[in-house]
Amino acid sequence: MKALEADSPAFHTALLESERRRIYGITAFLLVFAIAIAVRIVIFGSRMSPWGVFVLLAVVAYELWTLGAVTRALKGGGDLSNGLLLFNILLEIAVPALGVGLFSSPRLEFEYRPIATPWVLAFFPLIMLSVLRLNPRVSRLAGVAAVVGYLASAYFLGWRPSLENLQQHTVQQTAVAFYAAILLASGFIAGMVSGEIRKHVEAALRDAETQRQLKQVEHDLEIARSIQQSLMPSIRPTINGMEISGWNLPADATGGDYFDWKKLRDGRFVVTLADVTGHGIGPALLASVCRAYARSSFDTHDDVVEAMQHINRFFGEDLTPGRFATFAAAVCSEDGSKVELLSAGHGPLFVYSSTRDAFEELAAQAIPLGLLPELNSAAPVVLNMEPGDMIVLATDGFFEWENAEGEQFGVERLTQVVRESRQRSPEEIIAELYNSVRTFANGAKQMDDLTAVVIKRVANAA
């Protein structure tokens, strides 16, 4: 992610919020300073000029006006001009400079007023609070302005710089220069602190923006997941003498697997399962495209081979190099006694015979969809189904799921789980299969999408 720009809305808002806090600090300090001067004059009889109190209160009123402008800018998404912000800094720094030159106690000797008046101390909180501008140049400017204002006030009070006879300079001459150096150093130190704070603010805003974008991506993926899941059938097909169930769990929010079933024009049912290479949002989009082509093709072609060739031709045009999909279709007769099984690169296909209590693994009859313009498929396998017989279509996410030792669940375990659950319904068989593979993985992360369809022959209904 690129660095957060200084004119970004988030940073602009952060600057205004920081400026508002700076004005709070300036206002509080000036009020406390004014109260302290008033107390010294009224209670302790100090001969400090009371005009300093009025100047401080006038600046406080101006700061409150500026605070209102900043608040309005925050609410309305506006901005304050750089000229106004610069004027504020110079005005604030001018206050202690005026205090040194005009409002110091007359009891002090004239030449000692620049170094003995409490107005000198007011420079330092103002420089420190400039840090909240989050601009090192502003803090350095505050330091330079404080030096210029302080030296001008000292000059007004009689201080004269000189490079002659340095060892014979008075305390007043050396102290003014020393104070000016401290003020200048304070401005540059404040600039360093301001720069570091700015970096942290920018980092925090970048992190907040990243989190916002991640939440948006998660929200979008959740929507994509709900859409993809809604495309898969939720109601079992009604076929006399046959029970069918399917299930899908992507490795990510979305996946490249899908299953579907559809009634054909002649009354038969076609059950399809596909596995697009990869998993995530890209394969999920391709899986949706494949589903659309499959539904359209089986609407217009009763022959399963012709339908598969049609899917391959049009789906292949949408694929980028290196992408393909394995696809299996099972066309079930109206009475459930016969199934035509055709696979394009999807295998093994598992066929369970109840009379032999054994599984047969069938290989694919064609290459995966999208590899070549023509499918060149062999004839489909025709299965005569007896009660208790099953066809299990499963993606490789099941038998390739590895445990912590790197061992795969494997085909043998898959068929064993199905055999032990053969008396159960297709939904229960799939649930048992998923529980078994999760137990085997023992906490290892699911790395591929899981999809399974079980087609089970049962006794015909009366």
Q: What is the CATH number of the domain that holds 355?
A: 3.60.40.10
Residue 462 belongs to a domain: no
Q: Are residues 179 and 242 in the same domain?
A: no
Average pLDDT on 186-201 reads: 94
- For residues 83 and 175, state if they share a domain: yes
Q: Is the pLDDT of residue 418 over 60?
A: yes
- Per the domain annotation, does 391 fall within a domain? yes
175 against 111, higher pLDDT: 175
Same-domain status, 353 and 420: yes
Q: Which helix (H) or strand (E) holds 215?
A: helix 171-231
Of the residues 213, 247, 268, which one is the last residue of a structural domain? Answer: 213
Q: Is the pLDDT of residue 1 over 80?
A: no
Angle between helices 82-102 and 51-76 (to 10 degrees): 170
Write the pLDDT tens digit of every residue in 230-251. Answer: 888 888 888 888 999 999 999 8
Does position 169 have pLDDT exceeding 70, yes or no?
no
Pick the last residue of a domain from 151, 185, 213: 213
For the chain, the domain total comes to 2
Domain check: are 152 and 18 in the same one? yes
Residue 61 confidence (pLDDT): 96
pLDDT at 2 over 70: no
Assigned domain for 2 exists: no
Do 131 and 99 lie in one domain? The reply is yes
pLDDT single digits (tens) 50-72: 999 999 999 999 999 999 999 99
Contact 330, 393 (CB under 8 A): yes
Choose among 388, 382, 288, 394: nearest CA to 331. Answer: 382
Q: Are residues 193 and 237 in the same domain?
A: no
- Which residue, chain included where needed, has tokens 């009379």? 355
Per the structure, the complete domain to which residue 102 belongs is given by 9-213
| Preceding omega of 233 cis (within 30 degrees of 0) | no
For 148-175, what is the mean pLDDT? Answer: 79
- Whether the predicted pLDDT of 7 surpasses 60: no
Tell me the mean pLDDT in the region 198-221: 87
The answer to whether residue 189 is domain-embedded is yes
173 and 238 housed in the same domain: no
- Residue 186, token pair as written in the block: 């304070």
Average pLDDT score over the chain: 89
What pLDDT sits at residue 108? 66
Please give the Cα distance from 416 to 359 (Å, whole number).
9
Q: Looking at 181, 213, 245, which one is the last position of a domain?
A: 213
Structure tokens at 443: 């906490």
pLDDT band at 107 (very low <50, low <70, confident <90, very high): low
Does 148 share its domain with 251? no
Compare 181 and 114 and report the one with higher pLDDT: 181
The percent of residues above 70 in pLDDT, for the chain, comes to 95
Same domain, residue pair 299 and 409: yes
Give tens-digit pLDDT for 247-264: 999 988 888 899 999 999
Q: Is residue 36 part of a domain?
A: yes
Q: Do 260 and 340 fall into the same domain?
A: yes
Question: Residues 297-344: pLDDT tens digits?
Answer: 999 998 999 999 999 999 999 888 888 999 999 999 988 899 999 999
Q: Find the range with the poorest average confidence among 109-123, 142-156, 172-186, 329-343.
A: 109-123
Q: Residue 172 falls within a domain, yes or no?
A: yes
3-class secondary-structure state, position 278 = coil
By CB neighbour count within 10 A (0-12 exposed, 13-18 middle, 19+ buried), where does 177 fall?
A: middle
Same-domain check for residues 264 and 204: no
Residue at 225 is within a domain: no
pLDDT at residue number 165? 67
In a domain, 223, yes or no: no
Q: Which residue from 269, 294, 300, 247 is spatially nearest to 385, judged by alpha carbons?
A: 269
- Domain check: are 378 and 440 in the same one? yes
